[in-house]
Amino acid sequence: MKIKYLFLILIIIISCKKDKNLRDSIFIEDVESPGLPIYSEWGYNTFGAYYDREVFISNDKKVPLKIIVTNDTMTFNFFGQLGNTSYNNMTMKFYFTNFLPVNYEDLLQLNDTIINLNNTNKISINIYGSNVNVTLLNGYFKVDKAQLLFVDTKETEVILSGHFEFQALINNEPIAISDGRFDIGVNQSNFFSY
């Protein structure tokens, strides 16, 4: 009888560890784009882009992405670091008004969706704790793949994988955000609708 309880406790511990591992980031550097993670569709919980010549990448200190849906806007909030030092915090937010999911499963509708970034969209950037002025010139945000992940036949999260690029005036200086890519799992821990 004690062996059965010990076995049950062991299964519970292993199951909890699996869920925790889904939230971890797996950073594999792209040899063709140094400093950025490879593009993947496996839920590695990473993102990256060039901010002119510096890298803006996810780190292990913050959740890489939170999606927040309010009355009229869905916001993709990317949290990471600018450059190679972890204390250079940066946040980049994409605001979209044409799709308002109710729950994270609704994000599956974004599969193979391209959103042209122009003056009807908004992007905000916070570097080192200060908001910078952003005037969007052009660009795109694409969800290449939105897929549902099951672990042991249990729905766990939606994996969003895609690309983004844009040009903007940031504090009145022309800046290019290029080679942007993301591969992030979204569930109740980083999807908020209110």
Q: For the chain, what is the mean pLDDT?
A: 89
Residue 22's pLDDT is 56
13-22, 23-32, 42-51, 178-187: range with lowest mean pLDDT: 13-22
List pLDDT tens digits, range 85-100.
767 899 999 999 989 9
DSSP string, the chain: -HHHHHHHHHHHHHHHHHHHHHHS----B-TTSTTSBPP-SS---EEEEEETTEEEE--SSS-SEEEEE-SS-EEEEEEEEESS-TT-EEEEEEEE-S---SSGGGGGGGTTEEEEESTTSEEEEEETTEEE-EEEEEEEEEEEEEEEEEETTEEEEEEEEEEEEEEEEETTEEEEEEEEEEEEEESTTTEEE-
Write out the residue range of the structural domain in which residue 129 sits.
25-193
Domain presence at residue 3: no
Domain presence at residue 8: no
Domain presence at residue 13: no
pTM listed for this prediction = 0.86
Domain presence at residue 160: yes
Mean pLDDT score, 13-17: 46
> Which residue is associated with the tokens 């042209």?
116
pLDDT above 90 (res 119): no
Domain presence at residue 139: yes
Residue 121's pLDDT is 78
Domain presence at residue 5: no
Domain presence at residue 16: no
Domain presence at residue 35: yes
Could you tell me which of 185, 183, 184, 181 has the C-alpha nearest to residue 50? 181
Strands 46-51 and 65-69: what pairing?
A: unpaired
Q: How many domains does the chain have?
A: 1
Residue 57's pLDDT is 97
Q: Could you give the percent of the chain with pLDDT greater than 90?
A: 76
